[in-house]
Structure 1
Amino acid sequence: MKKWGSILQVSFTYVGTVVGAGFATGQEILQFFTRYGGMATLTIGLATALFVWLGIKLMLISSDLGAKSYEDLNNLLFGRRIGNWVSLFTLVTLFGVCTVMLAGAGSVFKEQLHLPYQAGLVITLLLAFLLLTKGMEAIMAANSIVVPLMAFFSVLIVWDTWNAPGSFNWIELDAGSSPQRVWFAPLLYAAFNLTMAQGVLVPLGAQIKDRFVLRWGGILGGVWIGCMLMAGHFALAAQMPDIARFEIPMAQIVHRLGPVLQMAFILVIYGEIFTTLLSDVYGLALQLEQRTRLKYKLIVPLILIVAYAVSQIGFKTLLASLYPLFGMLSMAWMVMMIWHRRGPERPT
């Protein structure tokens, strides 16, 4: 039972790292899947397979290496010279996602809670700082609360949409896009999110030596991500094309469930944004600690302060511009992960 508890914690941490602002609000699902119509059902399956396979592989390699941060993994995949540049790119990418998470938190406060945008940023920064001082344990604990709640709402949304007028849009919707764009989208999505997830999955794999726990944590986490993607696509497709005009479309869908559940879902969205922010700042701080002589406890507040300044650009603008670019640049990393051959496994 203790081992399966550890498996659930690993899977929760995996899911919570991937399911951030864009995913939880529905923007990511719209941009990479639902906009391409009924074919999204198949492309979500492809993305899920990549999350399971490469998530497991990433954690097992990190366990073998005893990696301190994702820089050790990149040096293994690319060699030290190229790996240093890849790690630098990953550092910039992680920082960009941190700003997206902060901006997403501000958008939740402004659009859904009718509170000042800046209040959302400041409160999120303070909470993040308090938990990040506790390290990986706090990240895993936060995800163990937020991820099951998000899964509950995914089931609730599917149930509510089941008999809606557009409930068959998830397989019938025709977006008229070229096959190349349709099938490239899940590769971009998986590449970007796996590159970002290494910030937490690498130190997680290094800390947890049990290969059985890492393997099944990767399986459950990857499948969980896929099921939540499918649930989001099912609900969003039923409301297309009108739903695409909202900055937080999933909140509009939950609106039909009543004010209490709507408010609870908004808090869950905020929780998913927050846990991804924790994961990204943590991974970024570990790499900077490895590259510089600065201490972790000094690096964390510096990252949060600079991210606050950049997040003033806004949520949707950042999401639309950063995610596709970082996804394409992450393709090289994913290709190297696929090609890398691991050595003999140690016994469980």
Structure 2
Amino acid sequence: MKKSMQWSFLIVGAVIGAGYASGREIWLFFGPNSGRAILLFSLVFAVSSYGILSISYRHRTNHYKPVLQSIVGKTASYFYDWMMIIYLIFTTIIMIAGSGVTFEVYQVPKWFGILFIVFMLIWAFSYSLDQVININTIIIPVLLSILFIILFIFINKQPDLEQTSVLSPNYLKAVSFTSVNVLPIISVLGAVGHKISSKTEIILTSIISATILGVLSWVYNHSLTLIETEIDLYEMPIYGILVHFPNLVLIVITVILWIAIYTTAIGSMLGLISRIQTVIHLSQLKIAVLLVLLITPLSFVGFQFLVELIYPLYGLLNLYILFRLMIYPLQNMFKEKMIK
């Protein structure tokens, strides 16, 4: 159970980054009247996670390429390998940009927030892989607990705010949201496949991570629905919720938001570094330094622009991977019967 929780927090940490924790990504893919769409996302996410974990475990992977090859085949995996590299680079850029935005809330220059997360990323990768995973395991439960508490308090305090939209739930966007998050999960789980110890661990991890993300997505999306007329006033919609709280809560959530950004940046860079090490034999610290030096200038493009450009695009491009993951349990069952 302990290991399952560890992998679950690794998965959740890969998903809850600047786009998700700020509310921008949730509102982009869900929006009003999306309870059933979020349930669909949870189910599809659980099956996808099960497939990725099973493949990583079977191949005892230490980077994501063998996982991609098992999902889409050797030929298509070359295309998706490059897609993965580009995605992880852009995700890291988005996280670095998001750090700049959180600092701007307090009138601190964006560049200071960007440099701060860069130094913190270099610090994280000065430790071993197990220590990097442990950092994530400690941070994520704290992040989730505080975010849940704030959202529940907000919902309970706002009974007089009514939903103004009557749009139907967009199930296709729910599937697209899952496919967006397939790549970061493949990248982080591919790096630790050799550390997974049993099939029970895989099943528990899939259920726990999907449940956490499903419940949090519903609570967060419902909170945003209550302020939907104000969302466009904020680059990070969560601040539309936080204006209803004292300044102390604003400070706490800003710190939590930054931590969410930080854990996703760690997950993205972990996937990149483990892949790069198969080609270039350098320490993870040296590769981390080189990466941040190369990509940090691009983070000044703008947080909201990057989220709204990259995530929907990859949501479409990853649909084939998602389809293959959805049929993986059936294929696996069929192969086992054939062997018997």
- Which residue is equivalent to 1:269? 257
Where do 5+ consecutive residues of structure 1 fail to align?
none
Q: In structure 2, what is the Cα distance between the partners aligned to 1:24 and 1:334?
A: 23
Letter in 2 for 1:62: S
Q: Structure 1 vs Structure 2: percent identity of aligned residues?
A: 20
Q: In structure 1, what is the Cα distance between the partners aligned to 2:324 and 2:3?
A: 29
Deviations 1:208-262 (A, max 9, x none): 2222223212211111011110111111101111123201221331332312222
Range that drifts further, 141-150 or 187-196: 141-150
Measure how far apart 1:344 and its partner are.
4.5
Q: Which of 1, 7, 10 is the equivalent residue of 1:10?
A: 7
- Which residue is equivalent to 1:314? 302
1:218 aligns with 2:206: yes
Measure how far apart 1:78 and its partner are.
2.4
Range that drifts further, 21-30 or 79-88: 79-88
1:335 aligns with 2:323: yes
- Which residue is equivalent to 2:30? 33
- Which residue is equivalent to 2:311? 323
Conservation of the 8 A alpha-carbon contact between 2:139 and 2:259: yes
Q: In structure 2, what is the Cα distance between the partners aligned to 1:45 and 1:260?
A: 33
Matches within 5 A, 1:162-201: 162-165=156-159, 169=163, 173-175=165-167, 182-201=170-189
Q: In structure 2, what is the Cα distance between the partners aligned to 1:267 and 1:133?
A: 23
- Which residue is equivalent to 1:47? 41
Measure how far apart 1:8 and its partner are.
1.7
1:83 aligns with 2:71: no
Q: In structure 2, what is the Cα distance between the partners aligned to 1:210 and 1:158?
A: 36
Q: In structure 2, what is the Cα distance between the partners aligned to 1:26 and 1:82?
A: 33
Q: In structure 2, what is the Cα distance between the partners aligned to 1:5 and 1:113?
A: 38
Conservation of the 8 A alpha-carbon contact between 1:16 and 1:143: yes
Secondary structure of the equivalent of 2:277? Answer: helix
- Which residue is equivalent to 2:142? 149
Q: Which of 61, 65, 68 is the equivalent residue of 1:67?
A: 61
Matches within 5 A, 1:293-312: 293-312=281-300
1:98 aligns with 2:92: yes
* Alpha-carbon spacing, 1:261–1:19, altered in 2? closer, same or farther (3 Å): same
- Which residue is equivalent to 2:122? 129
Q: In structure 2, what is the Cα distance between the partners aligned to 1:254 and 1:6?
A: 34
Q: In structure 1, what is the Cα distance between the partners aligned to 2:265 and 2:124?
A: 11
**Number of residues of Structure 1 aligned to a counterpart in Structure 2:** 332
Deviations 1:177-199 (A, max 9, x none): 7x7xx221111110010122111
Conservation of the 8 A alpha-carbon contact between 2:22 and 2:237: yes
Deviations 1:118-147 (A, max 9, x none): 111111011111112324323332332332
Deviations 1:39-67 (A, max 9, x none): x1111111111111111221121100111
Letter in 2 for 1:13: L
Conservation of the 8 A alpha-carbon contact between 2:47 and 2:326: no
Q: In structure 1, what is the Cα distance between the partners aligned to 2:157 and 2:52?
A: 40
Secondary structure of the equivalent of 1:257? Answer: coil
Measure how far apart 1:168 and its partner are.
5.2
Q: Which of 17, 20, 25 is the equivalent residue of 1:20?
A: 17
Measure how far apart 1:167 and its partner are.
5.1
Q: Normalization by structure 2: what TM-score?
A: 0.92
Measure how far apart 1:155 and its partner are.
3.2
Deviations 1:272-311 (A, max 9, x none): 0000000001101111111344443332211111220211
Measure how far apart 1:315 and its partner are.
0.5
1:234 aligns with 2:222: yes
Letter in 1 for 2:3: S
Deviations 1:311-341 (A, max 9, x none): 1111011111111111111111111222332
Conservation of the 8 A alpha-carbon contact between 2:180 and 2:315: yes
1:285 aligns with 2:278: no
Secondary structure of the equivalent of 1:290? Answer: coil
* Alpha-carbon spacing, 1:102–1:166, altered in 2? closer, same or farther (3 Å): farther
